Amino acid sequence: MQPQFPPITPTVRTLLVVLAVFFLGQTMAEGLLGIPLTSWAALTPGVHVELAWQWATYWLVAIVSRPSDVFWHLTLLFAIYWVLSMFEAEQGRSRLLALIGVAVVTGALPVMILGAVMPSIVGMLGGPSVLVIAWLGAFAAMRPDARVGVWIVAIPPISPWTMVGITLLIEALQAAWTHNASGIVSALGATAGGVAFARYVNRPRRGKPTPPKKKPGRPNLKLIEGGAESDDKPRWLN
């Protein structure tokens, strides 16, 4: 069966344009001009006030250390189009922007904290993978009974939580081979952020209290004391 591509949504289109333009600019700066844009924009582990802008730029950067990383980055952009377009179509623009903000913050915060405590096991962090991982955590929390299939690599439909486990396992294996724990730590943070976001969105809402039902009788009338002593009938007043 041929996959059905979701229509790209306006916010995701803008997001992909920004990511593509930044990647082309990074390629020209690094490859042609020799400007170290990656080290400037990627997140440096630890707490560095003088590098505060990296919070806003690290997820825009593609960490390219070998030619195959370019293909991985382009595949990641395709995944962003696929999953975030579906999310915006279902949840709306405001929730998509909120999820992106949650992904960027929760993907960076644990790396900064671990880098301040154990700087020898973490390295530079970059790339928009936190957006997909946060979406996966949110999707697993919102629709745990759904089925997720990755037709590109012929993965049969599996539960969202199984996909979360596979993703974290891949990040852990990469961390073991590269001796850089930034990827797995960031993925754990983004997953937790996505789950927390879904829990917040789906929290029970407190509605307005229901007014008590009026007893049957004459509307807008009340009984008051009144009349003369010889008058034994109650009087109704508006």
According to the 3-state scheme, what is the secondary structure of the chain? CCCCCCCCCHHHHHHHHHHHHHHHHHHHHHHHCCCCHHHHHCECCCCCHHHCCHHHHHHHCCCCCCCHHHHHHHHHHHHHHHHHHHHHHHHCHHHHHHHHHHHHHHHHHHHHHHHHHCHHHCCCECCCHHHHHHHHHHHHHHCCCCCEEEHHHCEEEECHHHHHHHHHHHHHHHHHHHCCCHHHHHHHHHHHHHHHHHHHHCCCCCCCCCCCCCCCCCCCCEEECCCCCCCCCCEEEC
Q: Residue 50 falls within a domain, yes or no?
A: yes
Residue 230 has a pLDDT of 58
- Given a cut of 70, whether residue 152 has pLDDT beyond it is no
C-beta separation of 234 from 221 below 8 A: no
Q: Residue 225 falls within a domain, yes or no?
A: no
Percent of the chain with pLDDT over 70: 82
Residue span of the structural domain in which 82 resides: 10-201
Q: Residue 5 falls within a domain, yes or no?
A: no
Domain of 131: which CATH number?
Answer: 1.20.1540.10
Q: Residue 29 falls within a domain, yes or no?
A: yes
**Choice between 196 and 156, residue whose per-residue pLDDT is larger:** 196
Q: Residue 154 falls within a domain, yes or no?
A: yes
Residue 65 has a pLDDT of 78
Residue 30 has a pLDDT of 82
Q: Residue 73 falls within a domain, yes or no?
A: yes
Domain count, the chain: 1
How does pLDDT run across 19-58, given as a tens digit for each residue?
A: 999 999 988 888 788 888 888 888 887 777 667 778 888 9
Q: Residue 38 falls within a domain, yes or no?
A: yes
Q: Which residues contact 132 (CB under 8 A, 6 or more apart)?
A: 76, 79, 80, 83
Q: Residue 224 falls within a domain, yes or no?
A: no
How does pLDDT run across 70-109, given as a tens digit for each residue?
A: 888 999 999 999 999 999 999 999 999 999 999 999 999 9
Average pLDDT over the chain, rounded to whole?
84
Q: How confident is the model at residue 217 (pLDDT cuts 50, 70, 90)?
A: low
